[in-house]
């Protein structure tokens, strides 16, 4: 599923970035070579980051 339309980031990409050490949407996007643009996806990205960190 596409999480961030502006950067064409998939939910799976963001989850993988968190498993590799990202601790928030900003660091996850940075690890993927992107940064938030419109910001629409950030709340959903934060939820995904929190979910992934909860199971780590
Ligand atoms: S949808 Fe992610 S920055 Fe726009």
Q: 5-16, pLDDT tens digit by residue?
A: 999 999 999 999
51: domain CATH number?
A: 1.10.10.1100
* Ligand 1 pocket test target in 1, 2, 4 with most atoms within 8 Å of CB: 4
Domain that holds residue 7: 2-55
Q: What is the pLDDT of residues 1-50, one digit of tens each?
A: 999 999 999 999 999 999 999 999 999 999 999 999 999 999 999 999 99
> Can you give the pLDDT at residue 6?
98
Whole-prediction pTM value?
A: 0.93
Ligand 1 atom nearest residue 37's Cα = 3
- Which pLDDT value is given to residue 55? 85
pLDDT given for residue 18 in this prediction: 98
Burial call 17-38: b when 16+ CB within 10 Å, e when fewer: bbeeebeebeebbebbebebee
Q: What domain count does the chain have?
A: 1
């Amino acid at each position: 599923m596409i999480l961030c339309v502006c950067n064409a980031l998939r939910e799976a990409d963001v989850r993988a970035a968190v498993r590799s050490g990202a601790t928030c949407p900003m660091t996850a996007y940075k690890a993927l070579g992107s940064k938030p643009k419109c910001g629409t996806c950030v709340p959903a990205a934060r939820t995904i980051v929190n979910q992934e960190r909860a199971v780590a």
